[in-house]
Amino acid sequence: MNRHRLWIATSRGRWAGWTLAGTLLLLSPFALTQAVAREGVEVGQNSAFSKLVPAEDVERSAAQQFAQLQSQAKAKNALASRDDPQLQRLREIAKKIIPFSLEWNPRAKDWKWEVSLISSPQINAFCMPGGKIAFYTGILDKLKLSDDEVAMVMGHEVAHALREHARERMGKTAVTHGAARIGGALLAGVFGIDPNLTDMLARGGANLLTLEFSREDESEADLVGMELAARAGFDPRAGVTLWQKMSAANKGAPPQWLSTHPSGGSRIAEIERNLPRVMPLYERARR
């Protein structure tokens, strides 16, 4: 987020009576927001590479692929019905998180948010551009996630969408390959979509299948996601227990969610280092 330092000219004489409060009254709402130091985590601006691919195109492609994924999961009896308790739980958590997304991306107010639950043993979850959220039952059942831990996962994935990390990956790929047309395999590769549930991978370029979010993207999503969860009233300290569970699950064959999400002690340490920035937000939300 951009930060502008507010300078107020004062001098002896007729300007001595000017005050910060009086000056703030003259500012626009946007300038006022920028003038007051924000609470929460600190991250930089979105990558310039994201501007190389129109947001509308990315969101349209994501919506189409999400609909295809849902359709194919339903055909395999793998799509949870709307009265499924776990799906209802996910949607209630999403309802609390989504209102705080607008600060990070003004486009989010027009997104058609969706939350789906797919029956699959994979430990995986994602949020596609445009607010298309999916959890696999494996991540809920195998890790026995609390609501706070689910909120940390969801916040992390929503943060990827808000910060347009997939769009940035597409922009970089467009530059590398000299073309702006990005196949469906890109989103499938980025979000770890189960190839047993969808044949979308077969229609994309194989050279895009290994595309992953960068380490910087992951660190940013951790921080932004933690803030989103805290503002929504979920304990951000759950990020520590979440990654402890993830590390334990990573022993042996790595789950899909971890294959694109680097884990380890350094990740937990970064979360702990930023807890003082978000704990006041959580405590205020819980009052």
213-239 mean pLDDT: 93
Q: What are the pLDDT digits (tens) for 107-121?
A: 999 999 999 999 999
In this prediction, residue 2 has a pLDDT band, given cuts at 50, 70 and 90, of: very low
Nearest of 18, 117, 6 to residue 69 by alpha carbon: 117
pTM: 0.75
Q: How far is CA 162 from the centre of its chain?
A: 6
Mean pLDDT for the chain overall: 77
Most confident listed range (44-53, 73-82, 157-166, 203-212): 73-82
Query: Catalytic residue at 157?
Result: yes
| Tally of CB atoms within 10 A around 284 | 12
Name which of 38-47, 194-203, 273-282 the model is least confident about.
194-203
Alpha-carbon distance of 164 to 167, in angstroms, equals: 5
Contacts of 246 (CB under 8 A, 6+ apart): 123, 143, 257, 258, 261, 263
Catalytic-labelled residue, pool 157, 164, 168, 227: 157
Is 197:256 a contact under the CB 8 Å cutoff? no
Nearest of 241, 238, 240, 259 to residue 250 by alpha carbon: 259
Name which of 45-54, 88-97, 130-139, 146-155 the model is least confident about.
45-54
